[in-house]
Amino acid sequence: MTSSRARGVRNAIVSVVVTLAGVLGMAATPANALPMYAGDSIRIEYSDGVKYGCTLNSIAYRGGAMYGVTAGHCLAPIGGARPVRVLAADARTPISGDLRDSGFLLEGDNTLGGALKDVAWFPMAGHVTDPRAMRGGFIDLPFIGAIQGLSGFAQFINPNRRIAGRQPVTAVRTGQIVCKDGARTSRTCGPVLNVNPRTGEIAVLILSLQGDSGSPVYTVNPDGSANIVGIVSGAAYGMFVAVDAATPLPAGLR
């Protein structure tokens, strides 16, 4: 075999190997990797064994470490119980098993005009990956949970949205339509009722129920990507929703 022909065969073999590697994901993330999307259902497990549902607002970073962001009251102590783990939507898989580097800010209450700061953060486990996107949230049903057909349907009909970044509440105006992806009521949209730049809050008319706390509230860009402008703090009558600023984040998070 001539040297030129040998080189041709070798190059063809290399090309096939590279192609197969891409198809099979040989250079991709580990098999146990768990992507966590903004708007996904999370469960906060407390020291008394009780688990409470909230929503992952987004993923932030500090010094190369990855942190989950949610509402502050989701990680606040309840009576004598304190949060010990954060679990994925199946209520079994840990996404944060060490909360020593977590924290929360909770000033005021989680009603309209009350929660001046309602944000929490927790370190993500090493197997969690950041797709930098949202996929429509979940529909968490009492006694059934978040992993079921309705959640799958919600994620099927709602397009994934790439997260372009975070913006201050002053980036929106009264009457503008914003959306949220939540763990309880999936993706819903509605108008902004009020913007309060002094407290860093907005009020929106949008469907939201218990379990949606922490949901990312966002605007949609012409290309379909999302700018997160807030964190769902609480709701009155399931429709009048208090939203706290998503930037700047505390604790040096970006």
CATH number of the structural domain spanning residue 231: 2.40.10.10
Residue 17 lies in a domain: no
Ranges 27-36, 108-117, 180-189, 211-220: which has the least confidence: 108-117
The tens digit of pLDDT for each residue in 85-112 reads 999 999 999 999 999 999 999 986 655 5
Residue 13 lies in a domain: no
Residue 233 lies in a domain: yes
Partners of 128 in the beta sheet?
34
**Of 41, 109, 39, which is closest to residue 76 (Cα–Cα)?**
109
Q: How confident is the model at residue 230 (pLDDT cuts 50, 70, 90)?
A: very high
The tens digit of pLDDT for each residue in 127-176 reads 999 999 999 999 999 999 999 999 999 999 999 999 999 999 999 999 99
pLDDT at position 117 is 86
Residue 22 lies in a domain: no
Q: How many domains does the chain have?
A: 1
Average pLDDT, the chain: 88
**Distance from C-alpha of 172 to C-alpha of 177, rounded to nearest angstrom:** 9
* DSSP-derived pairing of the beta strands 177-182 and 186-196: antiparallel
Q: How confident is the model at residue 198 (pLDDT cuts 50, 70, 90)?
A: confident
pLDDT at position 191 is 98
**Res. 81: pLDDT tops 50:** yes
**Distance from C-alpha of 154 to C-alpha of 249, rounded to nearest angstrom:** 29
The tens digit of pLDDT for each residue in 8-63 reads 434 443 343 333 333 333 344 456 899 999 999 999 999 999 999 999 999 999 99
- Is 26 strand, coil or helix? coil
Residue 29 lies in a domain: no
**Of 230, 153, 145, 159, which is closest to residue 196 (Cα–Cα)?**
230
**Percentage of the chain lying above the pLDDT 70 cut:** 84
pLDDT at position 115 is 52
pLDDT at position 114 is 54
pLDDT at position 9 is 38
Residue 177 lies in a domain: yes
109 vs 252, more confident: 252
**Res. 239: pLDDT tops 50:** yes
- Give residue 107's domain range: 34-245
Residue 156 lies in a domain: yes
Residue 11 lies in a domain: no
**Mean pLDDT across the stretch 241-246?**
95
**CB 75 within 8 Å of CB 101:** no
Ranges 1-15, 181-195, 228-242: which has the least confidence: 1-15
Number of other residues whose CB lies within 10 A of the CB of residue 74 = 25
**Of 63, 67, 79, which is closest to residue 42 (Cα–Cα)?**
67
Q: Is the pTM of this model over 0.85?
A: yes
113 vs 84, more confident: 84
